[in-house]
Each structure stands twice: as C-alpha cells, then as structure tokens.
Structure 1
Amino acid sequence: MRRVISGLLVLLMLIPLASCGGNTAPPADSGVTEEPEEPKAPEPYEILDPTVMPEGGVRDGITYAAYDGVVEHLFFHPVVAYPELAFDGDNQANGIDDYMVTVGEYNKILQSVYEKGYVLVDIGDVWSEIAGEDGQPRMVRNTLYLPEGKKPLILSFDDTNYYPYMLENGFAYKLILGDDGLIWSWGKDPQGNEVVSQDLDAIPILDKFVREHPEFSPFGAKGCLSLTGYEGILGYRTQTDTKSWTQAQEANRQKEREAVKPIIEELKRTGWTFGSHTWGHIRLGGSVSLAEIQADTERWADEVGTLVGPTTILFYPHGERPDGNDWQNTGPIFRYLQSQGFRVFCSVGIESFSYIKKDICAVICDRLHPDGTTLRGSDKVIGWYSQFYDARDIIDLEARPQREVRWTPKA
C-alpha cells in the first residue's frame, strides 16, 4: 500500500526559527518594504509497504526479490554531540562511554551499514497479527520484498526524551522544526551558545543521510523512537508530578504538549514511528509489582500515547524480560502488557533474535547495541557486530575516556 503524506498540515504548524536561515530585513534607509517569505512546505514524503511486491517485480528500474532471512535490529541511545562535555571525568562519564556513541561514530556506522547493503525497514512491517486456523489471533513473520541483494535493518532509539542530565553532558536539548519544515535539533555548545543543527543528533542526522542516500530507505522507513514519559518526550516537558502539581505547572505542561505536536506529526510524516519504553523506565523483570506496572502503563498511555498515538511495540527498560524469561514463560506481567495492545516485545542481546510465541499473540525479539561496551570488544571478539562494521574503524579513542579495549589495533 502506498501513501504520500502532504506537508500542508505541517506547514500550518511550523515554528519559524531565525537561527535556521530566517529572512534578513532590508536596510532601514533602502526605501524598500519586503514582506517576509512564508516558510517552505517540505517535499512530499512517500512511504511504501515492503510486504507487497512491486508490480512486475520492478520499481524505478530496480528489481525486487522475496527475503525471508534474518532481519537485523540495531538500537542507539541519544548520540554525544560534544565529547568534551560528555567525557569530562564526572560521575556520568563512564556510563555515557558504556552506553552511547558519539556523533562521529554514529555517522561512520550509518555509512558502513549502507555500504554493506542494508536497507531500512519499519519494525511494524516485519510481523503481522492474523486469525489462525482455530480463529484465535496470532503473529506471523511477513515476507519482505527488497531490492535484489539488499538486507533489511530495523533501527530503534531508546530514551529520545532528552533527560535533564543529558543537557549538561554534551547532548542536544530537543527536536524542533526549522523554517524548511524539517526536523532539526536545538541545544547549546560548550560555551553556552545556542546551536540549531541537523548534524548533532541521531534523528536529523538519519533524516539527512536518507535524503542524500534515498536507496538506503527504499520504503521511506527511518526508525522507531522508544519513549519513556517521566521527563516528557523529545525535549518537551509534557509530564506531570503527582506529588504536587500547581495550576501554573499544568498550564506550562499544556503549552509543552502543544509545542511538541508538530514535531510528532513531522516525524510520523517522514517515516518515524514510536514505541513504549514504559513511563518510568521501570524494571519489568525486577521487584516491581503487577499493580505498579499497570499504573505505569496507564500513565504512559495518558501522557505519551495521547500525543504519539497507540503503539504495538514495547522496548524493555534495561533489557529485562518480564516474568523472568518471556520466551519460555508467559506470566501475568506479559499477559497484562499484551492485553494493552503490545505485540512486539524488544529486549537486548548478542544477535537479532526473534521468536513468535505459541501460546499468546506476541513476538519477542532481541536487538543489538552499538555503544562503548561493544565497540571496545571482548576477549573473544575483535569488536562486536562485524556484519555491520569493524569496530576499530568506528570507535573514537581520542574522544573517549582512556579505558581498556580488547582487540588488536590494525597494523
């Protein structure tokens, strides 16, 4: 199924940003009065269904073929824009080193997977819910029709909320719309200057990469944004604090909710989707009770779901599987989450594993994590994930803390 989404609604909601190339007024003595130019509408963006073979097996001169192999899945946390702030020796530095990549490393990873023949697919297109022979709903793995010789890749991005601790540790502050109607990041450099850019955050970087290499996303897919809610979303403070909440705080929250809506619409228009990371980033496999999980899920639906819409994707915080082991057990926590509409449950592992559960309509899967931990390698592996890149070509040892790497440098 093909859908072309107009930029008209986004145009009506644009927030002009002078720092993104706004118009310059003529000199006061020029005698010329110029009307400011209207912000440009973004180009229409086409999203296609990879489960449908193009008519005749060819689209735009490219031959398509059925693919039933492994669908790889990489995920990232927000990327480090300013390593000098992230790796400054404070109590956050080693954690950021373990779990994040820098902008430069992220760019190299994108270039490498592109060169190795991967193409982006939406996680929502990989599996479908159908009625089984017994009339009960179940999940099935879809056949994907890809450009011949290409391999599918899902991208997901955890914690795209722009938590306050990130703001002082070298990350972008929020997503905004530019005068061009596209997604940009806003933040501050180490000197405290405001910076609007498409080169300092994972989301606009991928948007830009796809504009420059459209064959990397033949169906228009980008990635799935995994959102908590306890510090708002996308850099906007849309959350509540149930302990104490004033009318002024609620008024500001509503203002933030309105401000983030055009960002969400533009992301959706251009191939981004959303998943839940729970409202409070809670440990589903830990000591949290079912009642607490129910309250958290309802709060996510109220504060986040009302903005981004319903989702069938749940990303486990900390990779912790509910009920101890979700692929051998289907316990009360898993059954509750499935009853709330989740169908694809994503953990973290060493390979892009997936399994369709037999006793309930759900899929569980693992995704891989390019970050400081895996880029530094292990005793048995020269860097991890060699199907995507050589870690020695990716890691920026000059920017990162001076910690051990467990592979031999290239000669």
Structure 2
Amino acid sequence: MNMPFVEPIKKRRLPRHFVIYLLVAIVVLLLMTFIIVRATRPSLPFHLSDYEESLRKGDYTRVYEIYNSTRLKRSELSGRLSSKTTQKLIKEADALIERIESDTMKRSLELLARAFDGTALSDEDIARIELDASIAGATMTSFIEEKTHFYLSEEIEENVYLSFMEQMARVPIFSHEYSQVIEKSEVLQKVREKLESANKAAREGIYHSEAESIRRLLASSEVAGFDHVVMYLEQRMAKARQSFYEEQMPYIRSDVEHNRTYDAQLKIKRMSGWFPDDELLNKYESICRERTPENIRNWNGPVEHIAIKPLIADSDRAFDNDRYAEAADRDLLLVVEFQRILEKLYERNYVLVDGRSFVSNEGIAIAVPCPEGKKPLCLVLDDFFSSEARVESGIASRLDLDEDGRIVGVVRDRNGTERMDRLFSAIGVVEEFIDSHPDFSFNGATGTISVVAMNGLFGYPLTDAQDQHWRDDASAYGFNTLKAIETNLDANNKKVKALLSALELRNWRIANGSYSRLAMDRASLQSISEDISKIEEFVEPVTGKLTILHYPYGIHVEFDKKKTALLAEHGYSVLSGYGTSIYSHQERGYVYVSKTLLSGQALRRPREHGINRFLKGADILDHANRP
C-alpha cells in the first residue's frame, strides 16, 4: 500500500571521533577514581624501616618526627570505622610506637645510670636526655625519684646523690626542680635526719608510724616551698597509708563480721581522714557507730570471773536417785537457773568482756575497755568434757550444729535415741540471751570454754587413745552404752573443726583445762609437763595455740613458783582458780585471776560461796526440778 504522506526514516551513524572521545572519558574517569581511592586509602606516614634507617644515621630529630607523626596517625585511625585494613594499620602503628618508646627508655636509663655512677655527661648527652624526655619523661622521673628515696632512706651517701642531681639540673626540662635540690642541700640533710623514724618504721613494716612521721614532717616549715621533696614526701606518705589500709582491711572486715565493732572502730580511727571516699571503709565505720556504745571508759581494777560446769539438760535423769544425783545437785546448774543468772547479771549492769581483754600478749595486766555504767565480766564454761557418767547426769553427750549453723547440745537417752536443742548447752543459752540482749556483750564477747581433752573435744574422740580412754572409763563405772557405738575419727575431726569455726564466729575462746584433768597441786612438775605436751600434740593442732589455763577442780598452784613458771614458759599468760571474791595479781609472764563457781551448792549457800554480790541464790534455784 502506498503511503505518500509518510517520509521514510534513514539511520544516522555516530561520528567516529565521538566514540574515541567517549573511550577517553571513561579511561580518565577510571584513572581519577583510582587516584581518589588511593589518596583516601588509610596508610601510615612511616614504617619500622624508616625508624631503623634514622637510627643507623643517628638522625634523632627524624626519630621524634616519626614517633609524633605515627602517634597522631594512630589516633586518627582509632576514630575511623573499623575494618581489616584499619585494624592492621593500628597494630603496625602500636608496634612502631612501642619499639621507639622501648628503645628511648632503655637509652635514657643508660645515660641516667652513667650519671649516677659518676660519669660526667657531655653536652650531647644532655641534649639527648632533653629530647628523650618527650618520650621517656615518666621513666626518667621515676629513676631520679628512686635515687631521692634511696638518699632520704639513708641507702646512698649524700655526695653521690648531690653529684647526680647536679648533672640532672643541667637538663633544661629538669633544671628548675633539681636546681632547688642543690640550692637547699642543707635543708635536705635535715629532712633526711628527721626521716630516720619513718625509715625505721618502713623497714619494720609499721606503715601507720611511717605515714604519721612523714605527715608531721610535711606540716613543718622546713620543707615548705621545697617542691621536689614535698612531692616525694606526699607520694611516700600516700604509699604508706595505702599499705596500712591493705594490711588493716582484712582485720576490720573480720572484726565487723564477728561483731567486734569496738576493735574495728579503733582500727578505722587510725585512718581517720585518709580515705574519705572509700565506700567500704565508710560502710564499716557506719556499722561500728551503730553497734558500739558511745561512751567507753577503761576499767583498771580486777575483772569479775564467774564459772559454771556443763548444764543439766535432762533434770529427770540427773535427779533419779542414782549414785550421780548428789554430785549433780551439788556441782551443776539447770538450764532455767543459768537463764535466770544471766538475767540477774544483766539487771545489775554486768557486761561480758573477752577472756583475754585484761592482759597483753606479753602477760601484762592492762585496762579493760568497758561501756560507761557497766561492770566487766568474764564467763568461763569450766571442766568442759563428755563422759558416760555425765550423760547419766543429764548432761549433753556432745555438741552439734543445727541447720542454721548454731551450736546445739545433744542429749542421748538411755535407749540410745538422741535429742538436740540449743538450750541443752550453756553455749546456746548464752548466745540466745545475747541475741535478745545485745548490750550484754561488749565487742562481741561471749565466754571462755575450758576444755579437758582426755576423751576428745565436745563429745568427739579425735584419736584412738581418746576413744579408748572414754570406753575404758565407761566400763570402769559399769556402763555398756558405748559398745554399740562405732567411732569414726575422720568424721569426728571434721565435726570438731566445724564446731570450732562456729564458736570462733561468736568469739568463744578455748582454754586449757588440762588434758587429763590433772590435779596440779598434787602433781609433779614432770606430770604437768607431760600433760601440757599432750595438749600441744593433740589439741592445739585443731584449736590453735592456747594461752589461758583454768586449773582443774579450781585448785591453783600460786604457792609453787616452779609450777607457775613452767606454765608461763609454755605461753599461758592467764591462770585461774576458784575463789569467793574478785581478785587478780600480776606475776612474771602471766596474770592470775580468781573466778567464782556458780553451782547448786553455791545457790543454796550464797554467802559461803561469795555469790551474793551477783544475785540471791533463792531467786535462782529451780525448786520444782531439784531434789
């Protein structure tokens, strides 16, 4: 079909030169992209090879340029988005910086060591130290301050120190500070003399004395304006205080955990104002203020001691008219009677104090801290051991722990069944009373347990010999109750250690009541020595060193100086026997104290036994359960 009105379209070709221009433009664009990418791609300005070349040439100006440029670039790379390339460059920069710093510190210390050894430094050496200070300044300062410490600690001579400081004063960057040392050498000598006490304390590890000596020196006018010495003294005082803090904090923590808040408070006061922002120290200080009486005075006279023997936990069994009933009625207390005694003592303003609070570690009598308006009292759980005769008297056969970790007494009935209760032992009675009357105990004090160890500890034989002694003693008195009981010494040792941990937590002290309940007034020196040896061999490995001895049966040997000297030589700095009044006296290496035994007989004859000063026996006696 003819379409006369439509003009045919002809294809037009691009000019050849246009294609050439397009290809050239693409090449240029790619080249520019490559240049831009290459220019913006991260890289380091210098490499390890550049640094090593500068060292070979001795061009230290370039070394510092490499160091500063690399550090600047490293800082810049840290601000970029992380990538493998960036991380690789940062690692390379760190290695280069570390290498330069290490070499510079080594070179600087070699120069300073030469100067200290007396070698005169050249002007070139001084210039090198000046330049190196920009990299190793802290290391140099530490080296120089160490020599100041050696001088002031009397470890190097004055001429050696001053000669070294004269060379350091030539270095422009150190000139102002160390020229002052040369100019004030006489003052420096006086400071050294006055630091003698601090130096002695430091050598002996007495950090508080060191810190206080330095504090007093800093407060004097002699060191005012002496910047180098002031800085040294401040740093040394801070170090001594920190050392004292680290030494004392475990003790403070332990004191607070054991409710010995008065002791903890004394330790904290020694650091008063040193660490105002220390949260843990402030926490302990707050606890101590809350638990410790505000007004404390020193009690300078004798300290009252009362003693009781193991409590009767089962009165029906104790007073069943057998051959032990009379002794139980005479010597022992019932649980309710002991509770009444504690109540009367509390009403009369007695407060429990530790069994060693009145004597120093050297055996010298000292004043006893005591709350204002209170009278200090030491409680002794005397003659503490288990036997079948005692079980038959209604006494707990052993101690144990309840589910809360508290000490309980365990009563073994005639049919072999056991009952346990906190109140079956005087330990639990005391702890329960303190729980409800916390002000009856000062500084966490409870009492002293005077153990007799021939049958073991707390009702648990710890050796074959102790187990056999218990069984032989039972057989001698006609008891067959132990035949069916097997002894596991390993389990017993673990149990006793657990009991001792619980007792230690409540501040009970363990004392020696003699291993074999030896009547020391009639015993020979050899027998006493052998008895002590058994305590040291079989008891102290689990209890720790014992320093208190309560004479068996309360019969002292103060009239026999050879015997008391023997006891003192073995570390017993408190010796105690029965008496009817408050009494103590100082002897060589120990303090003797008299303790009053509270018993059934004492309650019936209070005047004869000297207990009227504490209570009225008639108010205490449990007539309903006694014969």
TM-score category (smaller protein): 0.7 to 0.9
Structure 1 match to 2:374? 150
| Preserved contact between residue 64 and residue 147 of structure 1 (Cα < 8 Å) | yes
**Structure 1 residues 178 and 104: CA distance shift in structure 2, 3 A:** same
Aligned partners of 1:225, 1:190: CA distance in 2, in Å?
27
The percent identity for this pair of structures is 27
Q: Which has the higher strand share?
A: 1
Aligned partners of 1:65, 1:330: CA distance in 2, in Å?
34
Structure 1 match to 2:309? 77
Q: Tell me, what secondary structure is at the counterpart of 1:399?
A: coil
**How many angstroms does 1:289 deviate by?**
2.1
**How many angstroms does 1:346 deviate by?**
0.5
Q: What are the residue-to-residue correspondences of 1:5-404 with 2, within 5 Å?
A: 5=254, 44-48=257-261, 59-60=289-290, 62-130=294-362, 139-188=363-412, 193-241=417-465, 252-286=488-522, 288-322=523-557, 326=558, 328-331=559-562, 333-357=563-587, 360-377=588-605, 381=607, 384-401=610-627
Structure 2 match to 1:26? none
**How many angstroms does 1:155 deviate by?**
0.3
**How many angstroms does 1:66 deviate by?**
2.4
5+ residue gaps, structure 2, are: 1-247, 273-287, 470-484
| Preserved contact between residue 411 and residue 424 of structure 2 (Cα < 8 Å) | no
Give the letter for the 1:391 counterpart: G
Aligned partners of 1:119, 1:113: CA distance in 2, in Å?
8
**How many angstroms does 1:92 deviate by?**
0.9
Of structures 1 and 2, the one with the larger relative CO (CA 8 A, separation 6+) is 1
| Preserved contact between residue 385 and residue 458 of structure 2 (Cα < 8 Å) | yes
**Structure 1 residues 207 and 4: CA distance shift in structure 2, 3 A:** farther
| Preserved contact between residue 460 and residue 496 of structure 2 (Cα < 8 Å) | yes
Moved more, 107-116 or 381-390: 381-390
| Preserved contact between residue 275 and residue 315 of structure 1 (Cα < 8 Å) | yes
Aligned partners of 1:95, 1:199: CA distance in 2, in Å?
22
| Preserved contact between residue 385 and residue 457 of structure 2 (Cα < 8 Å) | yes
| Preserved contact between residue 365 and residue 591 of structure 2 (Cα < 8 Å) | no
Give the letter for the 2:332 counterpart: M
Aligned residues, how many? 343
Moved more, 187-196 or 227-236: 187-196
TM-score, normalised relative to structure 2: 0.51
**How many angstroms does 1:141 deviate by?**
2.2
5+ residue gaps, structure 1, are: 7-42, 131-138, 402-411
**How many angstroms does 1:393 deviate by?**
0.3
Q: Tell me, what secondary structure is at the counterpart of 2:622?
A: coil
Give the letter for the 1:72 counterpart: E
**How many angstroms does 1:270 deviate by?**
1.0
Aligned partners of 2:530, 2:541: CA distance in 1, in Å?
16
**Structure 1 residues 66 and 335: CA distance shift in structure 2, 3 A:** closer
CA RMSD of aligned residues (A): 2.9
**How many angstroms does 1:400 deviate by?**
1.9
Give the letter for the 1:266 counterpart: A
**How many angstroms does 1:362 deviate by?**
1.4
Give the letter for the 2:579 counterpart: G
| Preserved contact between residue 4 and residue 47 of structure 1 (Cα < 8 Å) | no
**How many angstroms does 1:169 deviate by?**
2.0
**How many angstroms does 1:375 deviate by?**
0.8
Structure 1 match to 2:282? none
Aligned partners of 2:383, 2:409: CA distance in 1, in Å?
15
| Preserved contact between residue 276 and residue 313 of structure 1 (Cα < 8 Å) | yes
| Preserved contact between residue 355 and residue 363 of structure 1 (Cα < 8 Å) | yes
Q: Which has the higher helix share?
A: 2
Q: Tell me, what secondary structure is at the counterpart of 1:140?
A: coil
**Structure 1 residues 50 and 88: CA distance shift in structure 2, 3 A:** farther
1:316-355 alpha-carbon deviations (Å, 9 max, x no partner): 0112223xxx1x5412x22222111111111101112111
Structure 2 match to 1:38? none
Structure 1 match to 2:479? none
Aligned partners of 1:345, 1:220: CA distance in 2, in Å?
23
| Preserved contact between residue 383 and residue 552 of structure 2 (Cα < 8 Å) | no
Q: Look at both structures and tell me which one has the larger radius of gyration over its CA atoms.
A: 2
**How many angstroms does 1:121 deviate by?**
0.5
1:20-40 alpha-carbon deviations (Å, 9 max, x no partner): xxxxxxxxxxxxxxxxxxxxx
Aligned partners of 2:441, 2:567: CA distance in 1, in Å?
31
**Structure 1 residues 281 and 329: CA distance shift in structure 2, 3 A:** closer
1:363-394 alpha-carbon deviations (Å, 9 max, x no partner): 1111001101211116xx38741222111100
| Preserved contact between residue 573 and residue 591 of structure 2 (Cα < 8 Å) | yes
Give the letter for the 1:151 counterpart: K
**How many angstroms does 1:69 deviate by?**
3.1
| Preserved contact between residue 252 and residue 264 of structure 2 (Cα < 8 Å) | no
Aligned partners of 2:568, 2:609: CA distance in 1, in Å?
36
| Preserved contact between residue 296 and residue 371 of structure 2 (Cα < 8 Å) | yes
